[in-house]
Amino acid sequence: MSVNKIAPVGQGNGLHLVAFCCANSSAKAAELSKAPFEVDRVRVRLAQLACSSKIEVLHVLRALETGADGVALWTCPQDSCRFGRGCIRAAKRIERARRILEQIAVGGQRVFLQSLDPNDPDALDKALREATGRLVELGKSPLKTVGVK
């Protein structure tokens, strides 16, 4: 899959992925963060971070609370993090967010964490496809399917 095959937002399948990408890990992140788009009919909103460690637990929770079905964070590999320990810190925050989501039965598996190979120009495309594929398997967030008293 290449960036060219990423579609503009259409009907979609009702699944939403909010993705965060370290600005240093993919040159394509800047282009893709301009507007929402679709991959495999999953609507994706991508935001660049100056470093993956800028991710906060709250970013993940709020995304799911306000309608996302999944959240992805793409970091640099540990040995090429420009800020040394950025991706390690990011992983710890993602782990905490997953723990909270497990506690409340939304499911920690809806949060994807992956490092992008800096030598692979298609790394972001592959990660996008993997995340959207996993999200299609998981289906809609339980927050969207629950009835309210």
Partner 1 sequence: MIVAQAKDINEIADKLTNYEKILVAGCATCVAECMAGGEKEVAITASALRMALRLRGCQAQVAEVTADRQCEWELIEEIAPQVEAADVVVSLACGVGVACMWDRFEPKPIIPGVNTVFLGHREKPGLWLERCAACGDCTIDRTAGICPIARCAKSLQNGPCGGSTDGKCEIDPELDCAWHLIIERLKAMNQLDTLRENTPPRDWSTSRDGGPRRVVVEDVEE
> By the criterion CB under 8 A, which residues form the site for partner 1?
56-58, 61-62, 64-65, 100, 103-106, 142-143, 146-149
Q: How far is the CB of 128 from partner 1 (least distance, A)?
A: 25
Residue type at 25? Answer: S
Q: How far is the CB of 33 from partner 1 (least distance, A)?
A: 23
In the complex with partner 1, which residue's Cβ is closer, 65 or 130?
65
Q: State the DSSP code for 6.
A: P
Sign of CA dihedral 21, 26, 28, 30: positive
In the complex with partner 1, which residue's Cβ is closer, 44 or 106?
106
Q: How far is the CB of 146 from partner 1 (least distance, A)?
A: 5
Q: How far is the CB of 84 from partner 1 (least distance, A)?
A: 14
- C-alpha angle 69-124-12 in degrees, rounded to nearest 5: 40
How far apart CA 109 and CA 69 sit, in angstroms, is 11
How far apart CA 33 and CA 45 sit, in angstroms, is 7
In the complex with partner 1, which residue's Cβ is closer, 11 or 105?
105
Q: How far is the CB of 86 from partner 1 (least distance, A)?
A: 14
Residue type at 113? Answer: L
Sign of CA dihedral 77, 78, 79, 81: positive
In the complex with partner 1, which residue's Cβ is closer, 102 or 120?
102
